[in-house]
Structure 1
Amino acid sequence: MTIRKTQRPTARKNQHELLLEVRNASVSFDMDRGTSKVLDDVSIDIYRDEIIGVVGESGSGKSMFASALLDAVVEPGVLSGEVIYHPPDGEPYNIRKLSDRDLKRFRWEEISMVFQGAMDSFNPTMTIGEHFEETLYAHDYELEAGMEHGRTLLKDLYLDPDRVLESYPHQLSGGMAQRALIALSLLLKPNVLVMDEPTAALDLLMQRSITSLLSKLHEEYDITIVFITHDLPLVADLADRLAVMYAFQFVEVGPCHDVLKDAAHPYTRALLKAVPNLAAALDEMQPIEGDSPDPVDVPIGCSYHSRCPLANEQCVETQPAFRNVSDRHRAACHHWSEAREVLPYTLSNETPEVMFDDAK
């Protein structure tokens, strides 16, 4: 895995100020063959002004976690647990107890979401400008001031506001449409931006461009970003923290530097070893053998035990609790301290040493 050396900002003043608490969140679907649990008792804290990357294989529960943050799980899915929001001023509240009207306001004004395919998010019969106006009208925002802010956002994303606002979605390239969607999601100045695989349909150059723009927007607008992706190298250039998801649960959470340089969970180490790496010999890069658990039949113990070379009877019978690996770095594994020797991996760098801001 290649990690580019990037200029990272100094420690942010709000980096330890709690913004979102997710407590015991689960999402389940009733099926003919049983109950499918696609998010399983997840708990995590998200802090103001941070960028947290949520990574894992396809089908690991990342998108359901994103939907849970907005209480936007579609029926017949059932969300349980708590999602507690800490506004900049005022008392914390559980968004799952909001009225439909308040939840509608919350989803755009406090937390907004960018989905994977911009074309699927826009109404093809409306211009981009009409999407902006409709959003402002729906939330009783002053139209002229709101559209001026929208134009500024489009400029910040290196788009021509006049051309984009007058265009229909199909008249924009994939990269332009995705940037227009990001601008729309920021129109009402939310505190949190949740991005669910926002660059998956774009080429590598455009992916890098989008992440660079996100970093710029993050600093300019002091916004918290939850960046959900299966692309570990992509988010490594952007994130302050990484949260690794496997089988509908988080298995490792910590500062980006710590997780990349010294991953503690066998799954994280295997994931890093499977990423293409120009510095490693071909036989050192290995796919993760086996399959992820069936959501209808998740193992009782550690959900990774059937694919893990360290697994023993304890792993089969007992679900591991999170252990403190270091300051702010935790992993849910019975044998995390042994993983370094059993599952080595190599990180390649474009410079002799990759430096990260220790404050992250």
Structure 2
Amino acid sequence: MTAESFTETKQREQDSILEVRNTSVSFDMERGKSKVLDNATIDIRRDEIIGIVGESGSGKSMFASALLDAVVAPGVLTGDITYYPRPGTAVDILDFDRAELQQHRWEEISMVFQGAMSSFNPTMRIRGHFEETLTAHSVDLKTGIERAHQLLSDLYMSPERVLDSYPHELSGGMKQRALIALSLVLEPKVLVMDEPTAALDLLMQRSILRLLTDIQEKYDITLIFITHDLPLVADLADRLAVMYAFRFVEVGSTEEILQSAAHPYARSLLNATPNLNAPIEKMQSIDGSSPDPVKVPPGCSYHPRCPLADETCQENDPAYHTITADHQAKCFHWEQSAEAIPFTLDQQESDQ
């Protein structure tokens, strides 16, 4: 290893809390092998908020499951997922045995799954869910419940009222906040949130986002926010990672993605995203449909829907091209995408 590459490796270890390399999830089906995560590669930085965005079925939830090695059989997870609990200390998540994995989940990396409505046992008070989690991880109940009180207070709820309630006695927003508190009670370093506000109204969604920002800053956690709602996460995230056909096709700072997205899909996604400030006629749907996981097109997987696609795109899989130091896109024609696919974000902002 050269001195330069050694320095780059050490810097990456300092900056990254998770490194995902060539990670795939596949299922054997009667009609062929279905790959629902395809060689996903990304670094998650320590203490950042990163938004994972894309259409439904793009692989976002499977990526979340892979981070916890929680892919359900008969799914097969392959690749490398390295976790850095501290800078310079590397742990291979996919090498854990069952006991190590049980400890890792919730204590190091925790997750808020879709649908708070179905995440709680309806026959158990909220306090019971906290006690069950604390006991399973051998945490002193008194200390753990004190932390639950603090977390619930931080989320602007009455701790005793919430803890003594059954799930059906709480509103949807209260259940979601209680679930966030439960996911943080073991003091994880990473919190993965999979469509956490999907069932909530717009006002409650915005309220939850403000609370998450406060929680992230207070507890110094890394937050991975997975959603199909790009404008929602844009108000929260430091960086955005755009998924298409089970891969990351563009990653960059939120500002750079919103102002100068380089991948044709990312630009089309911005044009297709509802915006209260934009006339309905300015919204443009993306022609075509997402690929079948059993029959992903060869070459660039987006080429059947892309106005810039040519023979090179049909035959070859593009590498990641560096736009700036913090912005990469997986596209042969990223330099032509702005002219070919203009989007209206600047116009929307100027009309406000």
| Structure-2-length-normalised TM-score | 0.94
Aligned residues: 341
Conserved? CA contact 2:13–2:88, under 8 Å: no
Q: Which residue of 2 aligns with 1:143?
A: 141
CA distance, structure 2, for counterparts of residue 37 and residue 275 of structure 1: 27
Asked if 1:187 corresponds to 2:179, the answer is no
- 1:116 pairs with one of 114, 117, 125: 114
Conserved? CA contact 1:119–1:177, under 8 Å: yes
- Structure 2, unpaired ranges of 5+: 1-11
Q: Which amino acid aligns with 1:315?
A: C
Per the alignment, do residues 316 and 351 of structure 1 end up closer, same or farther by CA in structure 2, a change over 3 Å counting? closer
CA distance, structure 2, for counterparts of residue 107 and residue 242 of structure 1: 24
Q: Which residue of 2 aligns with 1:290?
A: 288
CA distance, structure 2, for counterparts of residue 349 and residue 163 of structure 1: 47
- Structure 1, unpaired ranges of 5+: 1-13, 355-360
| More moved, 126-135 vs 83-92 | 83-92
Conserved? CA contact 2:14–2:88, under 8 Å: no
% identical aligned pairs: 64
Q: Which residue of 1 aligns with 2:263?
A: 265
Conserved? CA contact 1:15–1:48, under 8 Å: no
SS at match of 2:40: strand
SS at match of 1:124: coil
CA distance, structure 2, for counterparts of residue 16 and residue 270 of structure 1: 35
The higher relative CO (CA closer than 8 Å, separation ≥ 6) is in 1
CA distance, structure 1, for counterparts of residue 175 and residue 225 of structure 2: 18
Conserved? CA contact 1:277–1:348, under 8 Å: no
CA distance, structure 2, for counterparts of residue 288 and residue 91 of structure 1: 43
- 2:17 pairs with one of 12, 15, 19: 19
List, as ranges, runs of 4+ consecutive aligned residues in structure 1 with deviation greater than 6 Å. none
Asked if 1:165 corresponds to 2:163, the answer is yes
Q: Which residue of 2 aligns with 1:48?
A: 46
CA distance, structure 2, for counterparts of residue 75 and residue 349 of structure 1: 47
CA distance, structure 1, for counterparts of residue 88 and residue 336 of structure 2: 45
Q: Which amino acid aligns with 2:310?
A: N
Matches within 5 A, 1:85-124: 85-88=83-86, 91-124=89-122
CA distance, structure 1, for counterparts of residue 58 and residue 255 of structure 2: 23
| More moved, 334-343 vs 114-123 | 114-123
Q: Which amino acid aligns with 1:236?
A: A
| Structure-1-length-normalised TM-score | 0.92
Q: Which residue of 1 aligns with 2:275?
A: 277
After superposition, the CA RMSD in angstroms is: 1.8
CA distance, structure 1, for counterparts of residue 13 and residue 27 of structure 2: 35
Deviation for aligned residue 1:248: 0.3
CA distance, structure 2, for counterparts of residue 351 and residue 331 of structure 1: 25
The answer to which structure has the higher helix fraction is: 2
Q: Which residue of 2 aligns with 1:153?
A: 151
